[in-house]
Each structure stands twice: as C-alpha cells, then as structure tokens.
C-alpha cells in the first residue's frame, strides 16, 4: 500500500512538472516575445543607423589626404607660451525674474538692449503665453549682449525684479578648439593650392578628375571650418542671456473664475476616455490574446489528461502481478 502511494505521488508530481514546462513553452515565452519585439526592433533600427554613420565616417576618413601637411602654427604671448593673444570665452546666462508687470519689464529689457546696440546687442526672440484681464502674461526673451558687458547686463536685469528665483551663468573656453580649427584650415588651404597646381599640370584626364575630386573635398572642409570659427568668434563676442519674466501673483487680485460646470465636464471627459481605453484593451485582448490562451489551455489540459491516463494504465498493468504475489 505504501509503495502504491509513493508511485501515485511520484506520477502526480511528474504530471504537474510536465504541465508547468508546457505552460512556460507555449504561454510565457510567446507573450514575452511579443512584448519585447518593438524594443528589439528599435535597437536594430539604432544599430542600422549607427552602421550607416560608421560606413559614412569610414568613407570620409578613407579619402586620400594631401602628401604633406604643415605643422599647426602657434602664436606666443609675452611669456613665450604657445597660446593665442586673446582667449575665446563664451558666456551664457539664464534668469527667472518675478516682476509686477511683465510687459513693462519686457520694454525695459528692450531699452537696455537698445542702449548696447552700438556694440552689437540685439533681441533674438520674445514670446508671451497665458495672461488675462487680471493677470499679466508670462514673457520669455532671448537676448545677445557684448561679452564685455555681460556681468553688467545680468545685474541690471536682476535689479528690475521683485525677486530673482533663478540665476545661472556659465563660461566655456573654446580657445583650444579655435586654434585647432585655424591650423586645420591653413593645412587644407595649402593642400588646395597644391591641388590647383596639379590640375594645371595634369597630363591625363584621370589625373585631372582625381585632383578635382580631392579639391572639392578640401574646399568643403574649409567652408565647414570657416563656419565653425565664425560661430565661435560671434558667440565669444556676444553673450547669450535667456530671461523668463513671471508676474508677481501676490500683487494681483484673487481670481474668481472658478467654474464648477467646466470642472464636471472635464471630469466626465476623463471618465469616458478611461472607459474607451478599457474597451479598446478588452477588444484587443479578446481578438488577439484570448484565442491563444484557450489554445494553450487545451494543450495543457490534454497533456495532463494524457499523463493521468497513462499512469492509470500502468497501474492496471502492475495490479495483476501484485495480486499473484499476494496469493503466493
């Protein structure tokens, strides 16, 4: 009797293990695969883009360079160290100002910029948002001022506010990048002159076309470097300041525009939207997922039934042998 109980427990546990393995194979793995497919697709897309960028980069790098490149020149200071005479520092600032009247503060800032217009200062952009009859709008401005008057401009802007909630200043030294760009440009210009001489003395059409191709590449690089150098010079000469003007709320009258009916309408809209989302999910589940779950359930149920039938059949085969032994 004890032996039969042990066999029963053994085959019962074996059936549950088989059922668990089938559930993992036919239910969990397909669901995990479906959930992770967009992610792997995104990774593959990123990989493709990186591969394309790599190929493009290698194509550019693999283009033949001039036969000889002169060393980068260095301009010495009074102490003899290899550096440029004047360092290029890009100053950037950002301020959030609480003011009584944002439009009046905007006009003051425009006047401040106009007072420096002779040195190149100007207003890049100005925008308003919000606001009503009882509340001034929020104003965002972006201005450029001379780098020599950057600190002065920041202090004058702060003096316009009732409160300065945020003030940020940064300085980025781009001298090394500028010197490197200048050396590269001189090297490319030297190579361009040599290519022009080669084109004038070319003996065959093939040599002429190859020299023309290299000349086009060098001229493109030169224009790109000149644009970058001009940007660095302009950024170092004129500093950027972002100004965010916010009204002094405590100085404004209390708003009495609360509308309960509008609040109820918005709440009903959110409720309907959530019902719509639930309905969309339910439809997708019934059409796309439920048939597969039923199929996997039938497969697991059939496997369990088959395991029980096989175990009972084996028990019936072993029963006569056990009875014969008991008779003896």
Q: For 271-303, what is each residue's pLDDT tens digit?
A: 999 999 999 999 999 998 889 989 988 889 888
Longest dimension (CA), the chain: 123
pLDDT of residue 120: 87
- Which residues are CB-neighbours of 105 under 8 A, at least 6 positions away? 97, 99, 139, 160, 161, 245
CB distance 230 to 174 below 8 Å: no
Q: Taking each helix axis from N to C terminus, what angle separates 290-327 and 2-23, rounded to the nearest 10 degrees?
A: 160
Residue range 234-244: average pLDDT?
Answer: 89
User: Residue 242 and residue 173: Cα distance in Å, rounded?
Assistant: 20
pLDDT of residue 42: 37
pLDDT of residue 260: 83
318 confidence band (pLDDT: 50, 70, 90): confident
pLDDT of residue 29: 56
- Does 58 score more than 70 pLDDT? no
Nearest-10 Cα torsion for 185, 188, 190, 195: -150
Domain boundaries, the chain: 1-32+280-328, 87-254
- Pairing mode, strands 89-99 and 238-247: parallel
pTM over 0.75: no
Residue range 202-224: average pLDDT?
Answer: 85
Strand order in the sheet with 122-129: 122-129, 138-146, 238-247, 89-99, 163-173
- Which residues are CB-neighbours of 106 under 8 A, at least 6 positions away? 126, 139, 141, 245
User: 21-35, 36-50, 174-188 — which is least confidently predicted?
Assistant: 36-50
Mapping DSSP to helix (H, G, I), strand (E, B) and coil, where does residue 130 land?
coil
User: Residue 311 and residue 15: Cα distance in Å, rounded?
Assistant: 9
pLDDT of residue 62: 33
- Does 69 score more than 60 pLDDT? no
Mean pLDDT of the chain: 75
Higher-pLDDT residue of 19 and 294 is 294
Higher-pLDDT residue of 31 and 267 is 267
User: Residue 81 and residue 74: Cα distance in Å, rounded?
Assistant: 9
- Does 152 score more than 80 pLDDT? yes
């Amino acid at each position: 009797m004890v032996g039969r109980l042990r066999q029963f427990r053994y085959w019962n546990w074996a059936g549950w293990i088989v059922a668990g393995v089938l559930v993992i194979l036919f239910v969990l793995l397909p669901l995990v695969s479906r959930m992770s497919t967009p992610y792997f697709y995104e990774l593959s897309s990123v990989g493709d883009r990186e591969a394309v960028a790599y190929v493009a980069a290698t194509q550019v790098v693999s283009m033949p360079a001039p036969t000889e490149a002169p060393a980068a020149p260095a301009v010495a200071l009074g102490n003899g160290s290899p550096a440029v005479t004047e360092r290029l520092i890009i100053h950037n600032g950002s301020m959030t100002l609480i003011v009584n009247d944002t439009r009046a503060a905007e006009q003051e800032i425009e006047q401040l910029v106009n007072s420096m217009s002779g040195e190149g200062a100007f207003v890049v952009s100005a925008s308003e948002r919000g606001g009503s009859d009882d509340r001034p709008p929020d104003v965002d401005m972006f201005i450029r001022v001379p780098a020599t008057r950057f600190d002065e401009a920041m202090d004058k802007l702060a003096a316009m506010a009732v409160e300065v909630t945020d003030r940020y200043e940064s300085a980025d030294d781009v001298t090394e990048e500028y010197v490197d760009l200048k050396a590269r440009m001189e090297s490319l210009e030297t190579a361009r002159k040599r290519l022009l001489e080669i084109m004038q003395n070319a003996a065959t059409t093939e040599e002429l076309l190859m020299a023309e191709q290299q000349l086009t590449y060098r001229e493109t690089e030169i224009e790109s470097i000149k644009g970058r150098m001009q940007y660095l010079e302009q950024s170092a000469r004129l500093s950027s300041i972002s100004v965010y003007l916010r009204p002094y709320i405590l100085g404004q009258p209390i708003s009495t525009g609360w509308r309960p009916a509008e609040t109820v309408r918005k709440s009903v809209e959110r409720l309907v939207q959530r019902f719509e989302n639930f309905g969309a999910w339910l439809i997708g589940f019934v059409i796309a997922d439920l048939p597969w779950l039923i199929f996997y359930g039938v497969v697991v149920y059939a496997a369990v039934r088959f395991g029980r039938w096989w175990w009972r059949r084996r028990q019936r085969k072993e029963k006569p042998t056990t009875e014969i032994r008991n008779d003896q």
